[in-house]
Structure formats: C-alpha cells, structure tokens
Amino acid sequence: MKKTILLFVVCLFGFLPSLEAAQWYRGVTHAHSNWSDGNVTLEEAASWYQFHGYHFATISDHRILQTDPNRWVDVSQEKVDELDAKFGKGWTDTRTVDGKLQMRLKTIGEAEKKFNEPGRFLLIPGLELTAHTVEGDKALHMNPLNVTKTIPYPDDPTLAGTIRKAIAATREHGQAEKRPTLLIVNHPTSYYYDIEPKALIDVDEVEFYEFFNPDFQLRTTYTLNDEQFWTRENYWDIVSAFRTVAGKKFVYGVGADDAHNYLTLEKLTWIPGVTWICVRAEELTADALFQAMRKGDFYISTGMELDNIRFEDSTKTLTVDVKPEEGVKYRIDFIGTKKNFDRMEEPFVLEQTATNPTRAGFTYRFEDFGVTLKSVEGTTASYTMKDDDLYVRAKVTSDRPIRVPNEYEPPTETAWTQPYR
C-alpha cells in the first residue's frame, strides 16, 4: 500500500527552508524591471521578492534577457545614493555623458551572484516574448524560463504556429546549454480575448499558461461580449476538458503578478505580491522546480497557504488541507467537467467596431465546463471522482479580503490546485 507523506512545511513570508525533503517553494515567474518597462532596477525587483519571503523569481523583461554588460540609463544622484545604501557602497557604476549622470544596469549574472543562496533564494533567468501582430492584431506573450540568451520572437502568422515555434526554440536552447527550460503562455484573455482556448487545446506541446495574471485582464476600453467569450475560470476548464477527451496532457495553470510598479502599490498599477505559485519540490533548483511543475505539483495563491494537496490514483480522490489562520473562514470547492459535456464549438465572427478589434473564433456551451462537484466549509476536504467525471481541481476561498482589491480579482484570498484525473 502506498503511504501518503503529509508535508506540513509551507510557503510563507520569511520562511527559510531546508533541503532535507520535498517542500513548498513560493515563486513568481513573470515580473519586470527597468531593463524594459518596470520602474525599478533588476536588483531592486529581485530584492523585493527576496525580502517578502519568495524563494524564486524570474524578472522577465520584454524581448530581452538582461545580459548586456554595457547598458546605461540616465539617473539622479539621489537614486545612486539610494542603491548604494541598499546594496553596498560602490554597488552602482556611474558615468557622466554630455553633462548627464548615467548608471550601468546590472546584468542577470551579476544579480544571480548577489542574491542566489542555496535553499533560500533563486533567480531564474528569463524574458517575455512580446508581439501584438499575430493573426493581425492579437497579443501573444510568452515567457521562456532558465535561458541564457534572448530567444527571438517566432515568425509565424498563426497563434498555434507561434506557440509551437517558441516552445521548440526554448527546448532546443535548453538542450544546447544542457539546462532545464520551460515556457509559459501569458495572460490569454488580454487584451481582448486574444488567445482563444482552441489554441491551447490544439497545440499538444503546451504545458503551462497564466491562469491568473491580475494586471492583464480584459481592458475597460473594450465593450465585452459575454455570450461569445469565456471567463478566466471556464477557459481553464474548456482547455482541460477537450484535451482530456483527446488523450492529451493537462495544461497547468500559473499565477503571476506581472509586476511593473514597485513604488506606489495601489490597485490597477501592476504591483508585486498579488499572486504567485507554490511548488512542492525536492530542492530549490530550476531542475527540481520544473520537474515538480511538470507533474502538476504546485498551486496558485492570492494570499492563503495550503498545507497539503494529494491525489490518490487508486481511488481517484483529491484531498486538500488548508493552513488555517485564526479568525479566517474557508470554503473548498471541487470543480470539474462531466464526460457528457457538449462538444459543440460554434464559430463566430465579430466585426471591428469603434472600440473593439475584429475577433473570430469558437464559442461553447459554457455551463457544461467547470461545474461545482462538491463544496465544503472548513480547512480540509476530499472528493472522490465519479465515473462520469473527466477530472477534478480544487478552488479554496477565504473570507479575508485580498491585499490590494481591484475589479479583476476574487475579492478575498483564494488558491487553486491543478487538475487531476
């Protein structure tokens, strides 16, 4: 009989884990610095996550890995003094050009030397592949992780072809460099339902996508069409259901805050610390983290912590244990899709309007996807799959408000497990 090892080591601020057993590591896979459009330096972004108890972070600037040792930007003397006070006297390299003070941006290699500490904190190099012209005007962004150079944006006219080429380029780079890599498809619902579920259903190679990116939900400049389009929740279930009946692997969901603004920490300003993942891995290395993620051994959170997630293959039972906090109430919902769901994929075309771009795709019978199979009030619950269930995942909701409320998030702290079958 298999023994279930209960892991009570959790992912929380300030926790420094040992390397003795598999445990939860908290991390972010998508954030920015002033190498692109973030408002702090690479070292300040890394420091924010390290200081706030994260174990790993990828600062994924747009279209560039931070490797150029001769990249300079204008700077004030006050900023130089601030950086030197924070990271050590003489940390900042400066020069004066045409009467303007400039500083040299630190590379990812320099940042790794500064911040990486075995078992405690790991910077995973990466970048964000960014384009807004796929299939005419769609924005398809992707994050290759643990790369050593800037991966170019693939040249392909279709969403599916672009994703395939990006995954292949990331894998080939990893094989050439003898290092583990993975690729995440970013914020599929921005800017205006740009990446339809069918793109992830059809591309067998897709492993991960951003289920929750709080700063890249549908923009209020567009008039929404609820009848044709999907929500964040049922998008995942549409993909999971169709891939399951096709005999394909799950696409696992990731949460990332996509931070750009580390200074004001107000709602709708792309701030850090809004959502993250916790990965249960044997050690804090890219290889161990990626292996665990490819097994679906991680969860998404906007604040709460889970003690344990376990799925018993022999009984098809998913059990979730919350790490409770005093005075906070919890509800555990088990969510899935039934085998008899409507396979209808009805094509539609929405013509361009004064506010909306043209969109063509497929709509679905949305009520068939992501139905609630069971709900439990409390901190632990189990669900055994029925014969007509395709898969099951869990969503845990608390009654404690999230840190910085905005209209694109659940109003209270929430966590999501991966799907199981």
Per-residue pLDDT tens, the chain, 421 aa: give them: 443 334 433 444 434 443 347 999 999 999 999 999 999 999 999 999 999 999 999 999 999 999 999 999 999 999 999 999 999 999 999 999 999 999 999 999 999 999 999 999 999 999 999 987 888 888 899 999 999 999 999 999 999 999 999 999 999 999 999 999 999 999 987 778 889 999 999 999 999 999 999 865 545 566 656 677 888 899 999 999 999 999 999 999 999 999 999 998 776 678 999 999 999 999 999 999 999 999 999 999 999 999 999 999 999 999 999 999 999 999 999 999 999 999 999 998 888 888 788 888 889 999 999 999 999 999 999 999 999 999 999 999 999 999 877 777 899 999 999 999 9
Which residue's structure tokens are 């390299």?
93
Coil, strand or helix at 327: coil
Host H or E run for residue 82: helix 77-87
C-alpha distances (whole Å) from 104 to each of 34, 97, 98, 100, 295 are 11, 12, 16, 13, 40
Confidence (pLDDT) at 149: 97
Q: What span, in angstroms and rounded, lies between the C-alpha atoms of 111 and 106?
A: 7
Q: Which tokens sit at 45?
A: 């972004």
Q: What span, in angstroms and rounded, lies between the C-alpha atoms of 381 and 144?
A: 36
- Backbone dihedral angles phi then psi of residue 215, each to the nearest 5 degrees: -100, 0
Q: What span, in angstroms and rounded, lies between the C-alpha atoms of 50 and 259?
A: 14
Long-range Cβ pairs for the range 130-137 (8 Å, 24+): 130/62, 130/63, 131/162, 134/158, 134/159, 134/162, 135/159, 136/357, 136/358, 137/357, 137/358
User: What does DSSP assign to residue 384?
Assistant: E
Q: Are 43 and 83 in contact (CB under 8 A)?
A: yes
Furthest C-alpha separation in the chain: 74
Q: Print burial letters for 188-202: b (CB count within 10 Å at least 16), e (below 16).
A: bbbbbbbbbbbbbbb
User: What does DSSP assign to residue 150?
Assistant: P
Q: What is the pairing mode between strands 380-384 and 23-28?
A: unpaired
Domains (ranges, CATH) in the chain? Answer: 24-68+105-416 (3.20.20.140), 69-104 (no CATH)
Fill in the amino acid letter for 60. Answer: S
Residue (of 414, 367, 418) closest to 391 by Cα position? 418
> What contacts 70, CB < 8 A, 6 or more positions away?
104
Host H or E run for residue 161: helix 159-177
User: What does DSSP assign to residue 45?
Assistant: H
Half-sphere exposure of 6 (CA within 13 A, CB side): 8
Phi-psi region for residue 15, left (φ > 0), alpha (ψ -120 to 50) or beta? beta
Q: What span, in angstroms and rounded, lies between the C-alpha atoms of 1 and 326?
A: 36
pTM score: 0.92
Length of the chain measured in residues: 421
- Backbone dihedral angles phi then psi of residue 199, each to the nearest 5 degrees: -60, -40
Q: Which tokens sit at 93?
A: 């390299």
Which residue's structure tokens are 């490819």?
294
